[in-house]
Amino acid sequence: MSMIKTIWGFLFRLFPCPTALGLRRIGNPGRDSPVLVTCNFDLTVKRMRKALRGIDAWLLVAESKGVNVWCAAGAREFNTDSVVSAVKTSGIESLVDHRTLILPPLGAPGIRAADVAERTGWKTVWGPVRLEDIPRFLSARLVRSEDMKRATWNWKERLDTALGSLFPFYFAGALLLAFLGRSLLLEYLVVGAVVFVFFMLACPWIPTQHGLTKALVVCAVLGGGLAAARAVSAPLPAWLPSAVWIAMVLVVIYGTELGGLASTLASDLDPFLARLGIGAVGNVALAGTVRTELLNGYRLLTHTRERCDRCHGCIEVCPQRVWEVGRDDERSVFAHPEWCTACTACLMQCRSGAIQAHRVRAQAGARAPALRTG
Q: According to the model, what pLDDT value does residue 372 have?
A: 53
Q: Over the stretch 44-97, which tens digit does the pLDDT of each residue have? A: 999 999 999 999 999 999 999 998 998 889 888 999 999 999 999 999 999 999
What does pTM read for this prediction? 0.81
pLDDT of 271 strictly over 60:
no
Residue, of 345 and 356, whose pLDDT is higher: 345
Q: According to the model, what pLDDT value does residue 259 have?
A: 66
Residue, of 352 and 287, whose pLDDT is higher: 352
Residue ranges and CATH numbers for the domains of the chain are 3-149 (3.40.50.11600), 155-263 (no CATH), 293-359 (3.30.70.20)
Q: Over the stretch 7-19, which tens digit does the pLDDT of each residue have? A: 777 777 778 889 9
Question: Pick from 337, 260, 348, 341: which is nearest to 295 by CA?
Answer: 341
pLDDT of 180 strictly over 80:
no
When pLDDT is cut at 50, 70 and 90, the band that residue 117 belongs to is very high
